[in-house]
Amino acid sequence: MSFENNEDRSPNTKPLHFLLVPLLAQGHMIPMVDLARLLAARGNLVTFATTPVNLARIQPIVERAAAAAALQIRFIELSFCVADAGLPNGCENIDLLPSMDLLFPFLNSLHLLREPLEAHLQAPDPFQWPRPACLISDNIQNWTIDFARALDIPRLIFQGPSCFFLLCDLLINRHVVELEAAMAAASGGPVILPGLTLPIRISKHELMLTLRSDPGWFKFIETMKELEDTSEGILINSFVELESWYIERYHEEIGKPIWPVGPLSLYNKEEDAKAVRGRVSSIDNKFLLQWMDGKEPGSVVLVSFGSIAHNTMEQIVEIGHGLEASVWPFVWVVKEAAAEGWVSGLGEWMTEFEKRVAGKGIVIKGWAPQTMMLNHVAVGGFVTHCGWNSTLEAIAAGVVMATWPHFGDQFFNERLVVDELKIGVAVGVEKPTVFGVENDDEAAVKVRRGEVEKVVEMLMEGGHEGNQRRKRARELKQKARMAMEKGGSSWKGLQDVINYVIESQKNKN
């Protein structure tokens, strides 16, 4: 039995009780589960609020935490009556929405979690934990503003994206009039984002995605802004050595504490912890590890597009042919193959494909143990949608990336990876996939098979440039690890969070 790391626990400090309220989406839940375990490993009490379906998904991690006697962490199950919001039964995570038309009803129903959470806190506690000293909520859980006020405790936010994106987003919203004018003068071409020392060029769709004129989004952006404006500080899943300039600038702009505490994925040191992050793997991990063990170091391409982005049948076929034509072995995560109805005809095509590539490639139909694979010595490159968690997990593992953003902040993360950190090559996608309408004809194919093959070659080989990219990625991996080690910048970041809550308690007494 392996145990959670509790080496940072300081025996003389009185434990604080942290209440964590994540958004019910994989990209938000996964890092907050790590955060919860990290806070508990520092000797704190942690209540992690989730729902039955989500709790079932993270059960292996819950069991690990329970097995570690010293970790005082409770994963509590709040009933979430999604049917009241017109959502199908069990639809408790964004990746379970049958259609993105239900996204706003889903987000609008999150406040239903408040009542069961209140009831939980009011119920007699057999363990007699003190009441929560601090609430850390996702920046979309807007009901937590009043909730924390009622408890009279500090409310901090956990921000999912990179600080680079957060700053760009803020500057775009601030300079929107001049940006729109500059864009009109450039006939819609890219313009430079003011307020940064490095010239960041943004295109029309990037401008639009952060402004999002859709009334539903507009409302949520307002909500997120309110949550941020009224919070006492912000935790980010990043580290100083990665984006110090952006962290400082963002701090100056918003004028409240920012604590980089990542990469949170590095808390999962043991193989089995990496293997069960997020949910149970759709493939036999032993078989997968054996297969990867049999490959040359740095020879395998991992292809995965996160938990929400979907590709069309046409695009999937193009990716498959590109990988088949490439000389490199691969592991390709095709979640569309697990969800019936997402892509028709995929099953038959995939069966034939798998026969053709047997030995050279593996297809994971559903959930993949991504952190485990990224940290395997055989993996030499990662074709990613640039979700911030995936990006940071690759950085923490020292793996170079081929960037294929689909929507949202992913286009900005691509800039950071390719232009600034220089540890990736761009696949060359310029237009976003419209969130939720991936089957739209116009969006059917963004990258043809020949381009897939070419970008894989650049990623895995790439001559002198390729070597330089790999060298930089290795250096960043070291920095990421040092940041999370005792005394490192992110280790201190989390200590500063704890100290902030201690001080705020003292000020009240």
Alpha helices in 176-239 (DSSP H): 176-185, 204-211, 215-229
> How many angstroms separate the most distant Cα atoms in the chain?
69
Q: Which residue number, 96 or 133, has a Cβ lying nearer to ligand UDP?
A: 96
- Which one of 130-138, 146-154, 302-310, 338-346 is the stretch in contact with ligand UDP (CB under 6 A)? 302-310
Task: Kindly indicate which of the ranges 72-80, 188-196, 203-211, 300-308 contains the residues binding ligand UDP, using the contact rule CB under 6 A.
Answer: 300-308
Burial letters for 54-65: b for 16+ Cβ neighbours within 10 Å, e otherwise? bbebbebbbebb
Asked if 368 interacts with ligand UDP (CB under 6 A), we say: yes
**Per CB under 6 A, does 367 bind ligand UDP?**
yes
Nearer to ligand UDP (CB atom), residue 145 or residue 303: 303
**Judged by CB, which is closer to ligand UDP: 147, or 332?**
332
- Work out whether 370 is an interface residue with ligand UDP (CB under 6 A): yes
- Position among 154, 387, 424, 432 found at the interface with ligand UDP (CB under 6 A): 387
CB of 379 to ligand UDP, least distance (A): 13
Nearer to ligand UDP, 272 or 457 (CB): 272
Q: What is the DSSP letter of 403?
A: E
Position 373 contacts ligand UDP (CB under 6 A):
no
Task: Out of 71, 156, 234, 308, point to the residue binding ligand UDP (CB under 6 A).
Answer: 308
Site string for ligand UDP, 141-170 (x = CB under 6 A): ------------------------------
Beta bridge partners of 155: 135
Considering only CA atoms, give the Rg of the chain. 22
**How many CB atoms within 10 Å of residue 327?**
11
Strands 361-364 vs 300-304: parallel, antiparallel or unpaired: unpaired
| Cβ atoms within 10 Å of 407's Cβ, excluding its own | 19
- For ligand UDP, give the closer residue by CB, 160 or 380: 160
Report, in Å, the least distance between residue 262 CB and ligand UDP. 11
> Residue 156: CA atoms inside 13 Å, Cβ hemisphere, count?
25
Task: Using CB under 6 A, count the residues that bind ligand UDP.
Answer: 20
Q: Does 306 bind ligand UDP (CB under 6 A)?
A: yes
- Choosing from 17, 18, 27, 145, the residue that interacts with ligand UDP (CB under 6 A) is 27
The DSSP 8-state label assigned to residue 172 in this structure reads: H
The 404-443 site mask, x for binding ligand UDP (CB under 6 A), equals ----------------------------------------
DSSP code string of 233-294: EEEESS-HHHHHHHHHHHHHHH-S-EEE---GGGG--SHHHHHTSSS--SS-HHHHHHHHHT
CA–CA separation, 20 and 7 (whole Å): 22
Q: What angle in degrees, to the nearest 10, is found between the helix axes of 489-508 and 240-254?
A: 30
| Ramachandran angles phi, psi of 362, nearest 5° | -125, 135
CB 257 within 8 A of CB 499: no
Q: Does 362 bind ligand UDP (CB under 6 A)?
A: no
Q: Does position 337 bind ligand UDP by CB under 6 A? A: no
Question: 362 is written with which tokens?
Answer: 């593996």
Q: Which stretch binds ligand UDP (CB under 6 A): 35-43, 218-226, 305-313, 483-491?
A: 305-313
Whether residue 46 contacts residue 36, with contact meaning beta carbons closer than 8 Å, is answered with yes
Question: Around Cβ 421, how many Cβ atoms within 10 Å?
Answer: 19
User: Segment contacting ligand UDP (CB under 6 A): 22-30, 65-73, 194-202, 228-236?
Assistant: 22-30
Residues 6+ apart with CB under 8 A from 333: 302, 303, 304, 305, 363, 364, 368, 370
Q: Of the candidates 278, 322, 381, 466, which one interacts with ligand UDP according to CB under 6 A? A: 278
CB of 485 to ligand UDP, least distance (A): 21
- Measured from the CB atom, is 280 or 325 closer to ligand UDP? 280
Residue 26 near ligand UDP by CB under 6 A: yes
**Interaction of residue 329 with ligand UDP, rule CB under 6 A:** no
Cβ of residue 27: shortest distance to ligand UDP, in angstroms? Answer: 2
262 vs 306, which CB is nearer to ligand UDP?
306
Token readout for 490 is 């992110």
Whether the Cβ atoms of residue 387 and residue 394 lie closer than 8 Å to each other: no
Single-letter residue type at 386: C
Interaction between residue 390 and ligand UDP (CB under 6 A): yes
Given the rule CB under 6 A, which residues bind ligand UDP?
Answer: 26-27, 30, 277-278, 304, 306-309, 333, 367-368, 370-371, 387-390, 393
